[in-house]
Amino acid sequence: MCEPKGSEWFGASLKPKEDDMKLVTRFEAATLSTPELYGLRKEAFIAFTAAPRGSQEQREALVTMQTIEDELATRAPGLQILIRLAVRSAANFLR
């Protein structure tokens, strides 16, 4: 089956028909444009905040955000430290 591309990621990737979180791989993230990554990160953040605390859905949303942040960091090396701090802050929220 074909993976969604481009604008199809928005809405479709994080909430597929079975209503499970769609994990984004590093390879998938690399194929998306920077604006698409920012949109997907927003959706992952919304999914993270909407999921029950400590749930599998929340952990999957966090992993997706980390993957996206890692990809964005490779595109803007000067922002890498700020991005990592933001992701760590979200990870500490789970503890």
Structural domain including 25 reads 6-94
Q: Is residue 1 part of a domain?
A: no
Report the pLDDT averaged over residues 39-47.
93
Place of tokens 């479709």: 12
Confidence (pLDDT) at 92: 77
| pLDDT score of 2 | 52
Using alpha carbons, list the distances in angstroms from residue 16 to 9, 58, 70, 77, 84.
Answer: 10, 16, 23, 32, 28
Work out the average pLDDT over 4-21: 48
60 in a structural domain: yes
Q: State the total domains in the chain.
A: 1
